[in-house]
Amino acid sequence: MNAMTTLKDSCLTKTDGLPFFSGLKIDEIEPTVKQTIADNKALIAQKLTELETYTWDNFVAVIDEADDHLSKLWSPVSHMNSVVSNDELRIAHDACLGIFSEYGTFLGQHQGLYEAYLSIANSAEFTELKGEQQKVIENALRNFKLAGIALDDDKKQRYGEIQQQLSQLQSSFSNNVMDATLAWSKLVEDLDTLSGLPKTAIAAAKQAAEEKELAGYLFTLDFPSYLAVMTYADNRELRKEVYTAFATRASDQGPNANEFDNSETIEKILALRHELAQLLDFNDYGEYSLATKMAEKPEQVIDFLNELAEKSTQQAREERDNVLAFAKEKDGLETLQAWDLSYYAELLKQQRYKISDEELRPYFPENKVVSGLFDVVHRLFDLSIKESKEVDLWHSDARFFEIYNRQKEHIGSFYLDLYARAHKRGGAWMNNCRSRRRKVDGSLQLPVAYLTCNFNKPVGDQPALFTHDEVVTLFHEFGHGIHHMLTKVESSDVSGINGVPWDAVELPSQFLENWCWEPEALALISGHVDTGDTLPADLLKKMLEAKNYNSALQMVRQLEFSLFDFILHHQYKVGEEGQAQKVISEIRKKVAVIEAPEFNRFQHSFSHIFAGGYAAGYYSYKWAEVLSADAFSKFEENGIFDAETGRSFLTNILEKGGSEEPMTLFKAFMGREPSIDALLRHSGIK
């Protein structure tokens, strides 16, 4: 494993082992990936040949080190393709997807590897291994089966072909969404057209136009720009135009119809996933998906989502009717269109609670929110966080921080990239840059995370000002981050977020959101951009009163997405075209309370399930929200900054990573199994 090619020098700094983004040489990516994978394959063959007895130290740890090296080579490439993409990088990135897919299949179907892991599991040494090491072996044996180790040669070959095709199709889906988002913009020259929009949104649109050397105000489909129009624009035609462009991205409808159309890509992805599941003796992809999750059967997931829908739909209808009555009284509307709901809901909220997101925005400047977030986790888990300026970054917006524990030991690090920009994938996410692991030489590799959002950037001399929703998003992603960075597990396959069942991985992220609503925490994360004053008592009172405004509407929207995803994969019908549209239409009849227009093609940009890891797993957000709301109830009882409760959550949940089953960890923290009641109470659903 000493054949290190030039990508090491162009992608990794030689001093701190962190990615060297500015030195990335695109033409070296594909040959280096190929060479490193060839080295890894040669190492496996060598070890399988020379060893008579397989142990953790002489086999598992050595193979893991080789794959960790490959992961560290690929990490900056994959990340930059998401945050500063360009045509050359995308081509190089996508050229490697099939290579990685083939390597994954090679590992998963390697009989010698499987037998080596099996021999360790059956050996006397197994009982002497640490619990986390046993979990790695057990997970590996499960994953061999899910990779088709028991298939005959023809089916193994087909499995590999499917995985390669899925890898390319999912990347194509993501690329189409990014291209469609970039392809549309709206230049408004008449300021009167923007009546109702807050000054911050108008200033951002003016700055966006100036950056393109245009006169006027430029609106895009980047989420902050889209959301501002949908929430505040008095001009109904403008709202409709922007909504139409956003809701038809990468589809056969709308202003760029058929140009970046994901219709065929969706059909192929669904067909291949179903074939893959049946190849492995599952009835469908829904069943296959649950093989690695907390939920055990499809019926369990569907019943869970339907129960939440039953408890939420009536209240959601009442909330919709309240907005409609307000819109009728104000502007004579007889029906609410999809582009009306957010606008009139915001006006009604302002009337009812005398508060708006824009009124709160000056109290959440970036520097105060970020430092307040660090203060919150310091009080909860006795951590300190310091920025480092001596690190190579991919963009001037990005920053780098190090985390220290109560003993002042450096335990992890993270990159932070908060602003929306062109050629950056939409949404917010946390990703793994490095995993915590004990190296073969005995040294400890510390975890590093990427934390990425898409908020409005600073305008002029003013710092970035966040809405409270954006503050919640930041806390959410940081919850994922601390799950990854505070782990004490030293086996990379189950350290941090690795090996955590998908329907439990949202527990820490949704858990941390709760502090955004607590007066004691809000005093830390708010400070007026001009005066530094924390959120005044009257605004805080109004904000808390408005917390669950239209919460049932938000609940049924998430249930619509979750049911669509799971039923689409669980009840897939071979050979039937257009199933995605049929299924989402049926789900909407059951749970949606606002009728979507005929042209709506939400599914064509639903990257979570067609390009991300949430296929037949989007329900995980609600599943884990039950866990997180219930876990937070313990802080409500003991105090939101109670040191003992914080330490218990740290030791029972965050530090354990994927080394034990989530239900075991949850019961260790709570002393019982989870209850749905806390979620409904927190959501204000009766």
Dihedral over alpha carbons 161, 61, 291, 499 (to 10 degrees): -110
- Give the chain's radius of gyration (CA, Å): 25
Query: Directed axis angle between helix 341-353 and helix 223-232, to 10°?
Result: 70
CA angle 242, 243, 244 (to 5 degrees): 90
Question: What token pair was written down for 43?
Answer: 């190492």
Q: What 3-state class would DSSP assign to 71?
A: helix
How many alpha carbons fall within 13 Å on the CB side of residue 115? 10
Instruction: Count helices and strands (H / E) in the chain.
Output: 27, 9
Q: Residue 71's Cα: distance from chain center in Å? A: 19
- Cα 326 to the center of its chain, rounded Å: 35
Annotated catalytic residue: which of 132, 319, 366, 477?
A: 477
325 contact partners, CB below 8 Å, separation of at least 6: none
Residues with Cβ within 8 Å of residue 606, at least 6 apart in sequence: 561, 565
Rounded CA gap, 659 and 640, in Å?
A: 27
Helix axes 26-50, 111-121, angle to 10 degrees: 60
Q: Which of 679, 295, 269 is nearest to 514 (CA)?
A: 679
Structure tokens at 105: 């299949």
Helix extents (H) in 84-152: 87-108, 111-121, 131-146
What are the tokens at 150? 């028991």
Other CB atoms within 10 Å distance of the CB of residue 540: 19
Place of tokens 């049946």: 278
Six token digits for residue 342? 């957010």
Residue owning tokens 């393709």:
81
Contacts of 653 (CB under 8 A, 6+ apart): 483, 507, 508, 631, 665, 666, 669
User: Could you count the other beta carbons within 10 Å of the beta carbon of residue 217?
Assistant: 24
235: DSSP letter: -
Q: How far apart are CA 643 and CA 135, in angstroms?
A: 30
End-to-end CA distance of the chain: 60
- To the query of whether residue 660 is one of the catalytic residues in this protein, the response is no
| 536: DSSP letter | P
HEC letters along 278-318: HHCCCCCHHHHHHCCCCCCCHHHHHHHHHHHHHHHHHHHHH
Q: How many CA atoms lie within 13 A of 361 on its CB side?
A: 18
3-class secondary structure, 81:
helix
Do residues 102 and 164 lie in contact, with contact meaning Cβ atoms separated by under 8 Å?
yes
Strand 448-455 to 410-419 pairing: parallel
DSSP state of 652: I
Positive or negative: CA dihedral 117, 122, 124, 126: positive
In whole angstroms, give the CA distance from residue 544 to residue 538.
10
Contacts of 392 (CB under 8 A, 6+ apart): 13, 18, 19, 20, 21, 22, 23
* Number of other CB atoms surrounding residue 213 within 10 Å: 6
Only one residue has tokens 């690190």, namely 391
Show which residues are catalytic. 477
